[in-house]
Amino acid sequence: MFICSSGPRLGARPTPLRDPGAHNFNPGAGWSSLPEQLPDPFPYRAELDLPVPQRRNCAPTPTKKEHRGPSRLKPPLGFPGPIPAPCSRVWKDWSVCAPALCVCVLRRWISGGRCRCSLRLDGKTAVVTGANGGIGKETSREFAKRGARVIMACRDIIRGEAAAQEIRSSTGNGDVEVKHLDLSSLLSVRSFCEEVLRTEESLHLLVNNAGVMMCPKWLTEDGFEMQIAVNHLGHFLLTNQLLPLLRSSAPSRIINVSSIAHKGGEVDVDDLFFSRRSYSPLKSYRQSKLANVLFTRELSRRERGSGVSCFCLHPGVIRTELGRHVESSFPLLALLLSFPALLFMKTPHEGSQTTVYCAVTPGLESKSGKYFSDCAEKETAAEGRDDETALKLWNESCRLVGLDQD
Ligand SMILES: NC(=O)c1ccc[n+]([C@@H]2O[C@H](COP(=O)([O-])OP(=O)(O)OC[C@H]3O[C@@H](n4cnc5c(N)ncnc54)[C@H](OP(=O)(O)O)[C@@H]3O)[C@@H](O)[C@H]2O)c1
């Protein structure tokens, strides 16, 4: 056993190694550099046979990440070479942000065109059919927001009144009214028109928006097939009955909400109700939406110079109740599609934008008879430019709803 006299006692805290470049303050001599060679804090090392520590670099201990060397993140496809270490963090963040950004860009693209025109509609009167929900309700809200008097023409008065109340409170416009209109009944259409002609001094906007899609083969009380009856014939009669008021209020506009489904459609003027053809819910819907396009074309030709312009449009693919008949036939499919629908379909507000665009954009009169989508003029399918069929359909529609063919 030996006694260490000069070194620190065993168990005492060793003097910490000091940075040789550091400076020390000596009250007598001021700041001075520490000696190059620091004294070994364990001078008894030899006696204890302790290993001499390797001279260590005073650089800060590398972090765990730096020990890994170059980034182990896989570069994206097509990225030239490995990702440089300083970029790895950026890339890591980017790999999280990119999907979110893609979803945002996709959502923006799906939401489609927006009506940028902020024109007010104070003093104007608008009629919107099928206004208790979906696109019609949002169109009514937009008109009310711009100060118009809005007549919401609804089949379901209770839902219509609830929608109107919501619009009144959200826009602060109390001049929003609900009137009953069942487009599947010629009697209902006539009585609605009589009331409007009796009570309204002017009418500047008529939006033929109501629609039914792919229902089973149903016949209306007038003996018409339901889809062509609601989507075309009811609106045909409505428009013709309200035309005198629209003309006297000119400039005025009629907007027919059609669909891209008109493409590939066929209007069989001799068999509009599928009496001789086998009924197909999709064929019937397409026929009715093509009828909207042809009706717009013929109407614009007839109204040239009257101050009444008309337009038809595809509103986009929108989350509304339009698919109710498809959903009731395929409930599982509807359930499966409900989540993607949130992402890949327009909201009703977004779906109303092209209608609002056609209603308020100044100078659109020169485009009367045209077809719009995403707040821009688009070409219809070739079948939508068939003037002969448009005229035949007009005449047949007059006969069916009981109007003169002049
Ligand atoms: N949603 C889309 O993706 C899409 C795509 C292309 C075109 N469109 C067109 O957009 C228009 C509006 O559809 P939406 O998507 O808003 O569908 P929606 O939510 O089902 O709205 C349709 C509206 O039409 C009304 N309606 C149905 N039958 C009627 C009748 N006999 N008389 C009076 N009103 C009737 C409905 O009233 P009830 O609630 O009482 O049934 C409802 O208010 C339709 O013409 C449709 O063809 C929609």
Q: What is the pLDDT of residues 135-174, one digit of tens each?
A: 999 999 999 999 999 999 999 999 999 999 999 999 999 9
Distance 39 CA to ligand 1 centre (A): 91
Residue 115 CB contacts under 8 Å (≥ 6 apart), including other chains = 353, 354, 356, 357, 360, 361, 375
Q: Whose CA is nearest to atom 25 of ligand 1?
A: 130
Topology of domain 121-401, CATH: Rossmann fold (3.40.50)
Distance 221 CA to ligand 1 centre (A): 20
Q: What is the pLDDT of residue 102?
A: 81
With a pLDDT cut of 70, the percent of the chain lying above it is 77
| Residue 384 in contact with ligand 1 by CB distance below 6 A | no
Residue 122 CB contacts under 8 Å (≥ 6 apart), including other chains = 146, 147, 148
Q: Is 320 helix (H, G, I), strand (E, B) or coil?
A: coil
User: Rounded distance, CA 316 to CA 324, Å?
Assistant: 17
User: pLDDT confidence of 100, banded at 50, 70, 90?
Assistant: confident
Selected residue with higher pLDDT from 111 and 253: 253
Residue 147 CB contacts under 8 Å (≥ 6 apart), including other chains = 120, 121, 122, 123, 124, 173
| Residue 265 in contact with ligand 1 by CB distance below 6 A | no
| Residue 241 in contact with ligand 1 by CB distance below 6 A | no
To test the pocket of ligand 1, the residue of 138, 186, 321 to mutate (highest count of ligand atoms within 8 Å of its CB) is 321
Q: What is the mean pLDDT of residues 274-303?
A: 97
Q: Compute the C-alpha angle 98/103/104, nearest 5°.
A: 95
Instruction: Name the β-bridge partners of 153.
Output: 129, 179
Structure tokens at 230: 């609601």
Q: Compute the C-alpha angle 163/167/172, nearest 5°.
A: 155
User: Rounded distance, CA 134 to CA 209, Å?
Assistant: 10
Type of residue numbered 287: Q
Does position 10 have pLDDT exceeding 50, yes or no? no
Q: What is the pLDDT of residue 13?
A: 47
**Per-residue pLDDT tens for 228-250?**
999 999 999 999 999 999 999 99
Least confident range from 30-34, 42-46, 202-206, 387-391: namely: 30-34
Q: What is the pLDDT of residue 43?
A: 61
Say which of 44, 279, 285, 371 is annotated catalytic.
Answer: 285
User: pLDDT confidence of 94, banded at 50, 70, 90?
Assistant: confident
How high is the mean pLDDT of the chain?
85
Q: Whose CA is nearest to atom 36 of ligand 1?
A: 130
Q: What is the pLDDT of residue 21?
A: 42
Query: Is residue 285 annotated as part of the catalytic site, yes or no?
Result: yes
User: Rounded distance, CA 67 to CA 87, Å?
Assistant: 17
**Per-residue pLDDT tens for 209-233?**
999 999 999 999 999 999 999 999 9
Type of residue numbered 20: P
| Residue 133 in contact with ligand 1 by CB distance below 6 A | yes
Atom of ligand 1 nearest to the CA of 156: 40
Distance 50 CA to ligand 1 centre (A): 90
User: Rounded distance, CA 212 to CA 41, Å?
Assistant: 92
| Residue 207 in contact with ligand 1 by CB distance below 6 A | no
What are the extents of the domains in the chain? 121-401
| Residue 182 in contact with ligand 1 by CB distance below 6 A | yes
| Phi/psi at 383 (5° precision) | -65, -20
Does position 24 have pLDDT exceeding 50, yes or no? no
User: Rounded distance, CA 79 to CA 92, Å?
Assistant: 14
| Residue 320 in contact with ligand 1 by CB distance below 6 A | yes
Q: What is the pLDDT of residue 32?
A: 43
Distance 365 CA to ligand 1 centre (A): 26
pTM for this structure?
Answer: 0.79
Q: What is the mean pLDDT of residues 22-34?
A: 44
Selected residue with higher pLDDT from 69 and 357: 357
User: Rounded distance, CA 146 to CA 160, Å?
Assistant: 20
**Per-residue pLDDT tens for 361-371?**
999 999 999 99
Q: What is the pLDDT of residue 146?
A: 98
Distance 325 CA to ligand 1 centre (A): 12
CA 386 from chain centre, in angstroms, equals 32
Q: Is 128 helix (H, G, I), strand (E, B) or coil?
A: strand
Distance 64 CA to ligand 1 centre (A): 62
Q: What is the pLDDT of residue 141?
A: 98
User: Rounded distance, CA 342 to CA 332, Å?
Assistant: 17
User: Rounded distance, CA 404 to CA 378, Å?
Assistant: 32
| Residue 112 in contact with ligand 1 by CB distance below 6 A | no
